[in-house]
Amino acid sequence: MKISYLLAPLICVIVLAGCGRNTADSAEFSKAVFAMDTEMTLKAYGANSESAVNAAEREINRLDRLFDRGRDGSDINKVNAEGTAKVSSDTSALTETALDVCEATDGAFDITIAPVMDLWGFYTGEYQVPDDDELAKAMAKVDRAKVNVDGEVVSVKDGAKLDLGGIAKGYLSARIMEIFRENGVESGIVSLGGNVQALGLKPDGSKWRVAIQDPRETDMFIGSVSISDKAVITSGGYQRYFEDGGNIYHHIIDPSTGYPAESGLSSVSIISEDGATADGLSTALFVMGLDKGSDFWRAHNGFDVIFVTGDGEIYVTDGLSGVFESERKYTVIKR
């Protein structure tokens, strides 16, 4: 069986330039970093911008060493290999946050999906459509109840394996914002693949405009959101996928089936002050689909959503009124 491998651009949100008045605090320093299998761009403004960006780069590399389950000696690698391990405070905190998202979404987001991701090849790069027996064995290991966090000790049981890849970049972007603040930066932005998070306003006093990529025509955009002190995090089936026998299989696995989610959506963007939670929710609401995802939003506070269906229809929650701009027709979801 011949398999064709396709990889869409991972950057699904870009920062739009704007015009405005420069100030004395508008000195800019930026840097590109590659970590967590993602091209990252860090940008800060002000007298301490260079030191802030350099400190953020060090933190990126430190957290990457902790969270990468494929790296020998990482916290997650030790937990998966040994079943239980004493980990850093960052790893325990992120695991607890991830479990909260797992519970809140009733498993639509699940950090024990690693065996299934590996079987499909989305982590290893050796893509395949698994047979039913193999998939059933892998699915037997997927259960968030098999994970326990006790202080800085994280444990898994019954063959469960952790994968924090669906939430780690959101945690990282939030941590970078903290580092910027600690270094006296009041204006900055980071783009970590499909994750963007902004600190404060732009140096000219205007909000940051973040463009949302069109999942069907990835060189175009469906619109933009204007933000300050918020993250915009997108998950989409177009970001990583492969083709087999004329069928497309994307990387967002439904933990209830073990197959790529068939929710009728092509992307979900979460806008929230909490980068880590937004990262997990973007995956969960993609798995849920438009109706269940909208109901989840109505039942919870602290975030807004942009849904794009497989047919290209756009749905925007009403908290984005005056924030989301588009030349295309879209439907507003109300509480």
pLDDT digits (tens, 9 = 90+) for 184-214: 999 999 999 879 999 999 999 999 999 999 9
Mean pLDDT of 134-154: 97
| pLDDT class of 124 with cuts at 50, 70, 90 | confident
Mean pLDDT of 58-76: 96
| pLDDT class of 2 with cuts at 50, 70, 90 | very low
List the structure tokens of 251.
Answer: 């990387």
- Is it the case that residue 81 has pLDDT exceeding 90? yes
| Nearest Cα to Cα of residue 201 among 175, 229, 165 | 229
- Domain membership flag for residue 139: yes
Report the number of distinct structural domains present in the chain: 1
- Domain membership flag for residue 116: yes
- Is it the case that residue 269 has pLDDT exceeding 50? yes
Mean pLDDT of 93-112: 97
pLDDT digits (tens, 9 = 90+) for 152-177: 999 999 999 999 999 999 999 999 99
- Domain membership flag for residue 57: no
Range of lowest pLDDT (101-110, 179-188, 229-238):
229-238
For residue 100, the enclosing domain spans 72-156
Q: How far apart are CA 237 and CA 241, in angstroms?
A: 7
End-to-end Cα separation, the chain, in angstroms: 48
Q: Where are the alpha helices (DSSP H) in 259-302?
A: 275-288, 290-299
- Domain membership flag for residue 147: yes
**What pLDDT score does 200 carry?**
97
Instruction: For 70-99, give one letter per residue: b (16+ CB within 10 A) or e.
Output: eeeebbbbbbbeeeebebbebbbebbebbb
- Domain membership flag for residue 198: no
- Domain membership flag for residue 100: yes
Instruction: Give kind and range of the element (H or E) at residue 179.
Output: helix 168-182
- Domain membership flag for residue 263: no
**What pLDDT score does 219 carry?**
84
List the structure tokens of 324.
Answer: 């989301």
- Domain membership flag for residue 11: no
**What pLDDT score does 15 carry?**
52
Mean pLDDT of 301-317: 97
152: domain CATH number?
Answer: 1.10.3980.10
- Is it the case that residue 93 has pLDDT exceeding 90? yes
Share of the chain above pLDDT 70, in %: 92
**What pLDDT score does 16 carry?**
52
